[in-house]
Amino acid sequence: MELTILGGGWVTAAGYGLLSEVKGDLFMPGEPMIPPAKAIFAQPLVRYGRFDDYTRLGCAAIALALKDAHLEEATEKRPLGVVVSTIYECFESDIAYHQTTIEEDGLYASPNLFSYTLPGIVIGEAAIHFKLTGPTFTVGDTFSGKGYNSLLSAADLIRSGSCHTVVAGWLDSPNRLLERKAEDDDGLRGALFVVLSKEQKTGLSKKVVFRDAQLWTENNKIIKSMVDLF
C-alpha cells in the first residue's frame, strides 16, 4: 500500500518549523523551543498557555504538521485520526501531581495538574481544536525508533479503512523531575509529526510504502524512525 506524506511539523531544541522547509539538523542538546501560540495557530487555542510542556509541545507540532499539509483550518468536523508515540509520556506532570497529594491525605491535590496526568490529553486538545473525529490513541516508543510505532499504527488504521488520513508523530517533553534516565536515553526531547494519507496531493507529497508489516521510502529504503522522514 502506497501512502502520501502531505506535510509535517517539528519542535526541538534547534527550533521549530515545517517538514517542507527543513534545513540543517533537527536536534541539538537542550529543551525544545516551544513556539508562542500566535506563531502557529490560525485560530487562537485559548488554553495553550495553561498546558503542561508535554501537551503544549505536542499541540504545537501537530499544528505545524497540519499547516504544512494545508489542513490547519476547518469549519466542520473531519474524520482524521491522531496517533502519538512516546517514551516517557506525561511523566513530568505525573510526578508534579503526585507531590501535591502527599500532604493531608491528598487534601491539596491539584485538580489543574490532574488533567495532564493522562498521556492522551494532548490528542484530545488537538482533536477538539482542529475538529478531528477519527481514531485517536497513544502508543509506546523507543529512543532509537522515535515515532516509528505511531507511523506503523497510522498505516494500519488507513489500511483498515478506519480513516483515510492520520496525523502521526513522536512526542517527548523535558523531564526535569526525572532522577534516573533509561540506559538508552539519548537525552533528545521534542516532537516530530507528519500527516499520512491515502490522498494524493500536489506539493510536498513524499511517498511511504507499507508492505510486509514494515514501512519503506519510495526509494525502497526501510524507515526506522520518524527522523528518516525529515
Mean pLDDT per 10-residue section of the chain, whose length is 230 residues = 93 95 87 93 87 93 96 92 88 68 71 73 93 95 92 95 95 80 84 91 75 88 93
- Alpha carbons 122 and 34: distance in angstroms, whole number: 14
Question: What are the strands, taking DSSP E only, across the chain?
Answer: 2-12, 15-18, 81-86, 136-140, 165-172, 190-197, 206-211, 214-217
Burial class (CB in 10 A: 0-12, 13-18, 19+), 47: middle
Looking at residue 226, its pLDDT comes to: 93
DSSP 222: B
Amino acid 189: pLDDT: 92
CA 159 to CA 163: how far, in whole Å? 8
pLDDT for the residue numbered 126: 95
Domain extent listing, the chain = 2-89+117-229
The DSSP output letter for 26 is S
How far is it, in rounded angstroms, from Cα 125 to Cα 43?
A: 14
C-alpha span between 9 and 18 (Å, rounded): 4
Which among 124, 131, 116 has a CA at the least distance from the CA of 50? 116
Reduced to 3 DSSP states, what percent helix, strand and coil does the chain have, rounded to the nearest 5? 30, 25, 45
pLDDT at 13: 95
- What value does the CA radius of gyration of the chain take, rounded to a whole number of Å? 17
Q: Report the top-level CATH class of 2-89+117-229.
A: alpha beta
Model pTM score: 0.90
